[in-house]
């Protein structure tokens, strides 16, 4: 197909470079998005492991979980346990307990969060969280 | 801009920017994903091993089964999968250190009574 301005000699001469550059940039952005999503998933799996361990510990700690328990005692217990299991020098050392509760007697639920360094973290910091519940029988 | 500004050599552009650059990006992306896949597998292995250890059911048979499962799922040689379970400095805690195709992950749990 011949293209050109009316009145000029029809021609298809031009550069496809802008199109290729646009395609390449799009591909790079897509790859970065996928890599970031994968990194978030990976971090969530790590945090899940941590929240599982903390919830099991709280449920099995012998602490009077249930009506007598109060939020701050549970939170202190979870924070202490988190630092014992995952000292600051480990990958999960900067994770914090964002929520802790006791939905029923001998049951505990823990939610832990951590900031993740992604490509665009300088613009918008990303926080990943994971929750677990455990029961003690 | 010169009068020839929009005139390009399509062959060169197609080869370099249209084919070679996307291929390099895809190649780098696949490499990164392979690393993350190994890391996820290492996490899974460490998590399962530490759960067995925390409940006192970890032994050689369990270790071999876990390693074989991961090696089969990832299609890697069994020699590329390793897991070590040990007590930590903290009282009543065990940790599992798993290595899969170069990626290393650690999971820690308190011993369940």
Structure tokens at B85: 């379970």
Stated as kind and residue range, the H or E segment containing B22 is helix B21-54
Nearest Cβ partner for B108 among A14, A17, A86:
A86
pLDDT in tens, B71-100: 998 888 889 999 999 988 888 899 999 999
Average pLDDT (B43-64) is: 92
- Phi then psi for residue A108, to 5 deg, are -140, 145
The ipTM is 0.76
Alpha-carbon distance B49 to nearest alpha carbon in chain A (angstroms)? 12
Between chain A and chain B, the number of residue pairs with CB atoms below 8 A apart is 84
Rg (CA), chain B: 23
For A81-124, the pLDDT digits (tens) are 898 888 888 888 899 999 888 877 778 889 999 998 887 766 67
Strand pairing category for A96-101 and B93-100: unpaired
- Here the tokens at position B10 are 């399509």
Percent of chain B with pLDDT over 90: 46
DSSP per residue over B72-86, as a string?
HHHT--GGGEEEEEE
Helix (H, G, I), strand (E, B) or coil at B5: coil
Q: For residue A83, give how far its alpha carbon lies from the nearest alpha carbon of chain B (Å).
A: 10
Query: How high is the pLDDT of residue A1?
Result: 47
Q: What domain range includes position A94?
A: 24-135
Chain B: nearest CA to A21, how far in angstroms? 7
Domain ranges of chain B: 22-110
Residue A5 in domain: no
Q: What is the mean pLDDT of residues B43-62?
A: 92
- On whether residue A4 sits in a domain, the answer given is no
Secondary element (H or E) of residue A115: strand A107-116
Task: Please tell me which of the candidates A13, A28, A91 has its beta carbon nearest to residue B7.
Answer: A13
Work out how many domains chain A is built from and give that number. Answer: 1
């Amino acid at each position: 197909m011949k293209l050109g301005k009316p009145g000029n000699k029809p021609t298809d001469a031009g550069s496809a470079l802008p199109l290729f550059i646009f395609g390449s940039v799009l591909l790079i952005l897509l790859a970065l998005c996928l890599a970031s999503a994968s990194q978030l998933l990976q971090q969530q799996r790590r945090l899940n492991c941590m929240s599982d361990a903390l919830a099991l510990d709280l449920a099995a700690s012998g602490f009077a979980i249930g009506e007598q328990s109060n939020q701050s005692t549970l939170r202190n217990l979870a924070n202490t346990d988190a630092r014992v299991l995952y000292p600051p020098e480990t990958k999960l050392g900067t994770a914090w307990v964002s929520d802790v509760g006791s939905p029923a007697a001998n049951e505990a639920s823990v939610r832990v969060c951590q900031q993740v360094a992604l490509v665009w973290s300088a613009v918008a910091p990303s926080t990943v969280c994971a929750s677990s519940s455990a029961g003690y029988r | 801009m010169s009068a020839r500004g929009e005139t390009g050599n399509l062959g060169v552009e197609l080869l370099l920017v249209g084919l070679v650059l996307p291929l390099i990006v895809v190649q780098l992306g696949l490499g990164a994903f392979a690393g993350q896949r190994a890391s996820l597998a290492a996490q899974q292995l460490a998590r399962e091993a530490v759960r067995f250890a925390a409940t006192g059911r970890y032994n050689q048979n369990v270790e071999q089964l876990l390693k074989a499962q991961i090696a089969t799922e990832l299609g890697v040689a069994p020699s590329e999968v390793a897991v070590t379970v040990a007590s930590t400095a903290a009282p009543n805690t065990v940790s599992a250190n798993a290595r899969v195709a170069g990626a290393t992950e650690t999971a820690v749990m308190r011993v369940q009574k």
